[in-house]
Amino acid sequence: MAPLTARRPLHQDIVNALQDAAKKRHRDTQRRKDEQKRALNSQGYQNLRTQLNQTKFISPLDAETTKANIFYIKKKFMRFCHDNRHGTWKLVIKAQNCDKGLIMSFLYWICETYIRPRRKRSKKKTVNQYWRDFKMLYRRANEGAAINANDCEEVVKYINGELKVEFKLDDLPKPKPVMGVDDLLLGLTHHWSRDTSVFPTEDDRLDLPTIMLFQAYSACRPAELVDGTKSRGREDPLLEEPDEFVEVIKDESDDEDNESVFDDDDGFESDATDDTEMSEGGVASIRDQNKEAGVQSQSLPLPEDRETEPIRQHKALCYEDLTLWIVKDPTRKGRDVLAMEVYLRFHKGSDNKPKPTVFLFREHPLPILCPISHLLARALRDDAIQVGGYSSAEPFFSTQLGKDAVKVHWKPSKLKSP
């Protein structure tokens, strides 16, 4: 019988990974048990049916950009009603009070107040966007009722006719020149060698060329890399606020230079994941019916080591979307090379129809054209690398692996960070 050999101890990184996986599985098991305890009984399903039948209108699950557009058009309509003494905006926008004449005069007021003072000539599609935003506001304020189809046709003809002529609206497409390879090299060279501008932080000086390289190699939109959500996009656009018509809030949608950069969802296309309140007055809560029927719903005791997973706060490229690899040199003549997988998930309409794309990058011999070098520098700056002994760039460029590839793990606290 062969003698027993001492078992080799596991590396600390492997131990930490196994512990994290065990804790995550334990949390998932506890959550599933909690959900099973809160399951509806027969009386609960009857009450659910009653609630759904009494619900007249369920608000669409709007994207954050759509919420922001509705909020800003509401601000404009409130100011319009206040300046022209029409009364409270909630009463004015009701179906019995909001006729086509009021809508046309509101669009005329927008052109006279916001478009005419501009130095440059405005686009007709800007007024069309205001019109689409107002239709969404009207529908939500009237519990799903849409504007009369004949009135909509008259408003469109009014925009294409009188407003276009009087305010000299431009209906030609905006030129969008495409940057070529020479332009990219010129921009990167100027950025690193001749640019004397001051950034808010030096991290921005590194982030800017990284974004340029990602856009050049993957043809992605800027909103897939940085958070393009407007400041009011995450809140309810119909939320009441004190003295709303007095407060002047800058409309971010007025900046025509940004129209083609970030998401601009039109119409009722909704792709957010927020919940909608469906309960109405006089209907008991579904969960309360379980208690009345004698079904107890108690949460299970939580272990002391139970932790809540961090929530992603930004629609931007985060460390969990990046996978850095050290790959063995295919020629077996020199050092190993770096490779990276980039997971782009925030396409336009990604909340409604997600179509994530994975791009593969290989180390480029010129650092100015290598996005991996840029991201590695940022990871070292953020202290995001979990592997011990890799706190500088030298170990990444001097390895000689005995296996095909090794994955570089990020610290769990940095996974949700941009």
pLDDT single digits (tens) 235-255:
667 666 554 444 444 454 454
Strand partners, 340: 324, 361
Residue matched to tokens 């069309």: 128
Segments in 285-357 forming alpha helices (H): 286-292
Given a contact cutoff of 8 angstroms between Cβ atoms, the answer to whether 123 and 178 are in contact is no
Instruction: Decide which of 101 and 228 is more confident.
Output: 101
Reported as a single tens digit per residue, the pLDDT across 135-155 is: 999 999 998 889 999 999 999
Compute the mean pLDDT over every residue in the chain, rounded to the nearest whole number.
80
Report the run of H or E that residue 75 belongs to, with start and end.
Answer: helix 64-83
Given a contact cutoff of 8 angstroms between Cβ atoms, the answer to whether 251 and 72 are in contact is yes
pTM, whole model, 2 decimals?
0.67
- Axis crossing angle, helix 149-158 with helix 100-110, rounded to the nearest 10: 30
Residue matched to tokens 């800058």: 250
Residue matched to tokens 């995450």: 234
pLDDT of residue 337 exceeding 60: yes
pLDDT given for residue 2 in this prediction = 52
Q: What confidence tier does 288 reach under pLDDT thresholds 50, 70, 90?
A: very low
Reported as a single tens digit per residue, the pLDDT across 49-65 is: 999 898 887 877 777 88
pLDDT given for residue 93 in this prediction = 93
What residues does each domain of the chain span?
64-174+245-258, 319-414
pLDDT given for residue 339 in this prediction = 93
Residue matched to tokens 């970030």: 262
Q: Which tokens sit at 353?
A: 């129809």
Phi-psi region of 219 (alpha: psi -120 to 50; beta: other; left: phi over 0): left
pLDDT of residue 226 exceeding 60: yes
Give the whole-angstrom CA distance, residue 262 versus residue 69. 13
Q: Which tokens sit at 264?
A: 């601009």
